[in-house]
Amino acid sequence: MEPNLNFVDERFADLQLLRYRLNGFSSLSLRQKKLVFFLAKAALYGRDITFDQHGAFNLPIRKTLEAVYLNPLTNRDDSQFEALEVYLKRLWFSNGIYHHYGSDKFQPGFDEPWLRQAVAVVPQEQLPLLPGETPERLVDRLSPALFDPDFLPKRVNQRDGDDLVATSACNFYERGISQHEAEQYYARQKAHCPTPQRPPSFGLNTTLVRGNDGQLREEPWHVGGRYGAAITHIVNWLRQASTVAENERQRRAIDLLVAYYETGDLQLFNDYCIEWVGEQEGSVDFINGFIEVYGDPLGLKGTWEGLVEYCDEEATRRTQTISRHAQWFEDHSPVDPRFRKPHVKGVSARAICAAMLGGDEYPATAIGINLPNADWIRAEYGSKSITISNITEAYNHAAQGSGFREEFVIDSDTLDLIRRYDDSCDSLHTDLHECLGHGSGQLLPGTDPDALKAYGSTIEEARADLFALYYIADPKLVELKLLPDTQAYRAQYYTYLMNGLLTQLTRLAPGTQIEEAHMRNRALIARWCLSQPGGAVRMVSRKGKTYVEIADYGLLRQHFATLLAEVQRIKSEGDYEGARQLVEQYGVSVDPTLHAEVLDRYKRLNLAPYKGFVNPRLVPVTDAQGEITDILTDYSEGYTQQMLRYSQQYATLI
C-alpha cells in the first residue's frame, strides 16, 4: 500500500513546492530498487554543474548566502534576513539567480550594507573566498551580480537583433566572445565533419573560451576536465548502477555513458544514445547528462540534467497503443510528403513514475520528454518518449478547487466540457507531442539540423504541439479507444488556446516580452490561428473581462493542419528567415492592456504561477555485513532542509 501524501509542501514568491509519490515502488525487485538508488545518486551529483552553467556567479552567491543563513550570529528576526531567506529559496529553485522560466535576474529584498555586515561575522572557512580574498572583497566581487539590475540581467537573451551570446549570462561562452565568433567557430567544425550525415552534436559538452593567442577553443566537460570533480562522482555511481543493470543492453548503455563522461568524446555520446534508445526491456530507466539546449541562446550546449524513472505499467498501455500506430500517423500527416518519414523506426513510449529529479529537471520538471535530440539518430534508430504520471498526478491534486478555470473559461458549457474531458485529453496531448510529434518528419538531405539557430527550439516545440493538436481531433483516437468520443478533443483545443492567448501571460512581469521557447511556441500557434480568416477563434469581452471563444472547432483543426505543414517545411528546409518571421510576428510581443487585465484577475485568485517538487529520500536498509536489503521511501524532508542537505552532501565545485 502506497503512503498517504500531502502533495503541497510550501509556497513563496511566485512558486509553490509540491511532492510526488513513488507509486508502486515497493513492488519493484531488490535489484531494481538498488538500480534506482544508484542512478538517483548519480542524478543528484550533477547539481553544482547546472548552477555553474546557469551563470558564473551562482555557486559563490549560493555558498555565501547559505553561510549567512546558517550562521548563528545572523539576526533571524531582521526583515532583511526574511528577504534573504526568500531570495535563497528562489535561488535554489532556479539553480541560480535567474528566474527558471523567464530567465530574468530577480532582485534581492535585502541590501548590500546589510549583507556586508552579515558576511563579516561568518567564519571565513565557510565562505567561497578566492586565494588571498577577504570577506569584504568577496562581497565586492558578488555585489554587481546581486544588486545591479543592469549587470548581466538575463540568463538567456533571445531578443532579435541583439548579440545573443554577449547579452546572455549563461556560462557556456567566455565573456568577450561574440555571437558571430561562436557561430563561425561551429560552422567551421561542421564544414570539416568527416561524417556529415551522422554528425556529433557540436559544442554540446564544452565551454567556448579564448586562448592566450586570441584563438577560440573548447574546454570539454569530462573527468579530469571542466566539471571533472562532479562528473567523477556521477561516474562512480553509474558504475555501481551497471552492476545491477536489468539486462545486458542496459549495462552496455550505462558503460558507454561512463566512457563518454571519462573522455568527452561526442562519438561515444552518439553510441550511448543509440544503445540507450535500443534498450526497451528494463522497467528502470534514466536520463543523465548534458541534454537540453534551451539554456543556450544558440541552441547548441546541453544543460546538465538527471531523471530516474520506472515504468507505470497501467498508464503505459496508452502510450504503447500510440507508438504501435506511429506509421499510420506519419503517413496521414498534413505536411508535404517530402517531409514525412517513409519508414518510422524505433518509436517507443512509456508512462513512467519519476523516482528522482536532478539538475535542470529539479525542482521544476517536465511532464513529458522525448530523446535523443539528434535528428539522424531519430531517423535511423528511433526515439524514446516518456510521460511522467506521478508528476501529473501531483499537479492535478494541487489544482483542485483553485478557481482558475472558473475565472478564465468563457461559459459554463465550456467549463463542463473541460471538466469532463480535460484530464484524459491533457495526458493524451502530452503523449502525442512526445511520442510522435518530436519523432515525426524528416530533414531534407543536406539540411543543417542547427540551421534555425536561436529559433530552433521554439519551432521544434511548435511542430510537436501542432502534430498533437491536429491528431487529438482525429476519429482514429476514438477507434483506438484513446478518447471516449469525437467531441472530447474540444476540451484540449479550448484550454490550449486559452493558455496561448491569455493565461500564460500570468508568468510574465509587466512590460516584458515572451522569450521562453515553450511559451513562444504556444503564443505563436494561438495568435496565428486568431489571425486567420473565418473567425474560428475570437477574443471577446464580457462584463469587462476578456475571454477566448472558439466558434468553429472544425475550421480550427484545419488551421492547425496548415500551420503544421508550414512549420514542418521550415524545419525540413532549414528556413531560418521563415522561422524568424513566424516567431517574431506571433510568438514574442505582449499586449500591455490585456496583460494587465490577466495579471489582475490572476492576482485575485491568490495562486502561484510556477510549481516545482521536493524529492523523496531513498533510504537504504543494510544487514550486518553492510549489504543493501531494501530501499525505503521517505517523504518527510522539507524544501529548505533538502536544499541545505544537497548543498552540503553533493557540493563538488565549491
For the stretch 435-471, pLDDT in tens is 899 999 999 999 999 999 999 999 999 999 999 999 9
Closest to 434 in 3D by CA, of 526, 367, 497, 491:
367
Residue 196, preceding bond cis, omega within 30 degrees? no
Alpha helix (H) residue ranges in 196-308: 228-243, 248-263, 266-278
CA distance linking residue 66 with residue 114, whole number of Å: 15
Residue 535 amino acid letter: G
**Which position has the higher pLDDT, 212 or 9?**
212
Paired with 12 in beta bridges are: 15
359: left (phi over 0), alpha (psi -120 to 50) or beta: left
Q: What pLDDT was estimated at residue 1? A: 41
Residue given cell 566539471 in the structure block: 227
The dihedrals phi and psi of 149, each to the nearest 5 degrees, come to -65, -15
Q: How far apart are CA 125 and CA 141, in angstroms?
A: 17
Q: For position 4, what pLDDT does the model report?
A: 57
Q: Which amino acid type is present at position 360?
A: D
**Among 161, 162, 73, residue whose Cα is nearest residue 123:** 73
* pLDDT bucket at 5, cuts 50 / 70 / 90: low
Asked if residue 49 lies in contact with residue 359, where contact means CB atoms within 8 angstroms, the answer is yes
Instruction: Give the whole-angstrom CA distance, residue 384 versus residue 326.
Output: 13
Q: Answer whether 0.95 is exceeded by the pTM.
A: no
Q: What's the pLDDT score for residue 7?
A: 75
Answer whether residue 554 is part of any domain: yes
Using an 8 Å Cβ cutoff, are 537 and 568 in contact?
no
**Residue appearing with cell numbers 513546492:** 17
Tens-digit pLDDT profile for residues 44-84? 999 999 999 999 999 999 999 999 999 999 999 999 999 99
Asked if 511 and 595 touch (Cβ cutoff 8 Å), the reply is no
Name the more confident of 536 and 423. 536
Q: Does 561 map to a domain?
A: yes
Q: Give the mean model confidence (pLDDT) for residues 403-428.
A: 94
pLDDT in tens, 293-347: 999 999 999 999 999 999 998 788 888 999 999 999 999 999 999 999 999 988 8
Who's near 266: CB < 8 A, 6+ residues apart?
A: 200, 201, 202, 204, 205, 260
Contact 427, 387 (CB under 8 A): yes
Instruction: Give the model's pLDDT for residue 97.
Output: 98
Whether 427 maps to a domain, the answer reads yes
Q: What's the number of domains the chain is made of?
A: 1
Q: Could you give the CA distance from residue 166 to residue 16 in angstroms, rounded to a whole number? A: 33
Q: Is residue 355 part of a domain?
A: yes
Phi, psi of 497 (to 5 degrees): -65, -40
- 500 is a domain residue: yes
Distances (CA, A) of 188 to 114, 175, 183: 50, 21, 9
pLDDT per residue as tens digits for the range 462-509: 999 999 999 999 999 999 999 999 999 999 999 999 999 999 999 999
CA 486 to each of CA 319, 428, 611, 630: distance values in angstroms, whole numbers, following the listed order: 19, 14, 33, 47
Model confidence over 138-184: pLDDT tens digits?
A: 999 999 999 999 999 999 999 999 999 999 999 999 999 999 999 99
d(CA 19, CA 612): 8
With respect to residue 209, please indicate whether it lies within any of the assigned structural domains.
no
Whether 17 has a pLDDT exceeding 70, the answer reads yes
Q: Is the pLDDT of residue 542 over 60?
A: yes
Mean pLDDT of 406-432: 94
Q: In a 3-state reduction of DSSP, which class is residue 628?
A: strand
Residue found by looking up cell 530523446 in the block: 371
Contacts of 247 (CB under 8 A, 6+ apart): 279, 281, 282
Helix (H) and strand (E) counts in the chain:
24, 14
The pLDDT score that the predictor gives to residue 422 is 85
Asked, for residue 373, whether it belongs to a domain, the answer is: yes
* Strand-strand pairing, 368-371 and 383-388: antiparallel
Average pLDDT of the residues in 566-583: 98
Q: What is the pLDDT of residue 316?
A: 87
Consecutive H or E run containing 549: strand 545-550
Let me know: does 582 contact 524? Beta carbons within 8 Å: yes
- The helix (H) or strand (E) run that includes residue 422 is helix 412-431
For residue 439, the enclosing domain spans 312-610
pLDDT value of residue 399 = 85
Q: Which residues pair with 38 in a beta bridge?
A: none
| Bridge partner residues of 20 (DSSP) | none
User: How distant is the alpha carbon of residue 80 from its chain centre?
Assistant: 32
In a domain, 142, yes or no: no
Query: What CA–CA distances, in Å, run from 369 to 186, 292, 297?
Result: 27, 10, 21
Per-residue pLDDT averaged across 24-42, rounded?
Answer: 98
Instruction: Work out the pLDDT band at 348, boundaries 50, 70, 90.
Output: confident
Nearest alpha-carbon partner for 650 in 59, 239, 142: 59
Can you give the C-alpha Rg of the chain in angstroms?
Answer: 24
Quote the pLDDT of residue 398.
87
- The residue length of the chain stands at 654
Query: If you average pLDDT over every residue of the chain, what do you get?
Result: 96
Report the distance separating Cα 150 and Cα 128, nearest Å: 24
Residue 10 pLDDT exceeds 70: yes
